[in-house]
Amino acid sequence: MNNKLLETIVKERSLKNEKSVAINRLLVILLACSFDLISYFEIYSITQIKPTAITLIADFSFITFSAGVLFFLFKNYYNNLVKYIIISFDYLIITLILLYDPTISKEGQIVIWSALTASLFLFYLNLLRYSKAGTIYSATLSLILFSLISFSSITSEIDIIPMYLGLCVLLYIGYSLTISNLTMMEEANTKLMMERYLSPQLVNELYKNNTSIEPGGKIQRVTILFSDIRSFTTISEKLPPNEVVRFLNEYLSLMTDKIFLNNGTIDKFIGDAIMTIFGAPIQGKDDSLRAIVTAFQMQDALSELNAKRNLTSSPMEMGIGIHTGDVLAGNIGSNKRLDYTVIGDNVNLCSRIESLTKYY
């Protein structure tokens, strides 16, 4: 798949996730601030330790930051710089809260376990951004956060070495998940794109044999099939545009099913015409036979469509040309757009054969 296209897809998905996180971040901090205000004004005691002015300052700072992030995201101001700023501020605010918020106990093991939980929570939150560099950056900040809190609160009652090792293992698992998700997205989008041109069985065969369709081309013996509805231009002039589109979609869907049933590769749709290849990208011993079988099945499908649309008195007819020969098969086009296709004299010859069906 084109790297720029994948980057665009990942960026759009990560922006949607970032917006969801920003909304939930703001809701959570508003709820926490409400509890702190209730405790601060002694309306109802929610925490064992009464919040102080420092707690409220931290809350309102977090609210301001969260609201600012949400504003910029909904204005679609999102790039790598914004992403790293958001990650940095999340860690900074959590660190300041753990260090200076009086409602969080600094005695014993509580603050260390709180630091470990916060480090992992912020790190795994970052996995929604689908960024290798962002994941590494977040993992580094998680280690810094845990180190800062644990060394400032270390006691003889707890051995932090196993906690460090556990944290490192979980950070590595998170980084592996990021790589796996990116690979899965690339493969899924590539497979989806390929299934628009190739039969699902053929796509599965390509993946099973780890065969990729590389840029460029090679000389290959294939069987080409051209099909075209007779006098479709004249027919379409008598129908409203939406009816023409509806008919074409129904017709092309039926023909695609027959082509894919016989493991053909759809090269392109040219209006009502279809160019199909048998033998590329994977060559078979029965390519010509499958092309002929497909032609008969396409004719039968058109007959069924005529009956369905009550066109038995003046049925639509289809011309089909089939030819086998050597062609150049591969990804051909510009550096911004490539199409898997075949070119050569044998392609032109097959097209002319199909045109002759108007007279013979």
Whether the CB-CB separation of 203 and 192 falls below 8 Å is answered with no
Q: How far apart are CA 153 and CA 170, in angstroms?
A: 22
Residue-wise pLDDT tens digits, 45-62: 776 778 888 888 888 988
Residue-wise pLDDT tens digits, 297-351: 999 999 998 888 787 667 888 999 999 999 998 877 776 666 778 899 999 999 9
Give every CB contact of residue 199 below 8 A, 6+ residues apart in sequence: 259, 260, 261, 262, 263, 264, 265
Residue-wise pLDDT tens digits, 278-295: 998 888 889 999 999 999
Answer whether residue 245 shows pLDDT above 80: yes
DSSP per-residue codes, 27-92: HHHHHHHHHHHHHHTTSS--SSSPP-HHHHHHHHHHHHHHHHHHHHHHTT--SHHHHHHHHHHHHH
Answer whether residue 205 shows pLDDT above 80: no
Q: What is the pTM of this model?
A: 0.61
Answer whether residue 213 shows pLDDT above 60: no
Residue-wise pLDDT tens digits, 84-116: 999 999 899 888 888 887 777 766 677 888 889
Answer whether residue 128 shows pLDDT above 80: yes
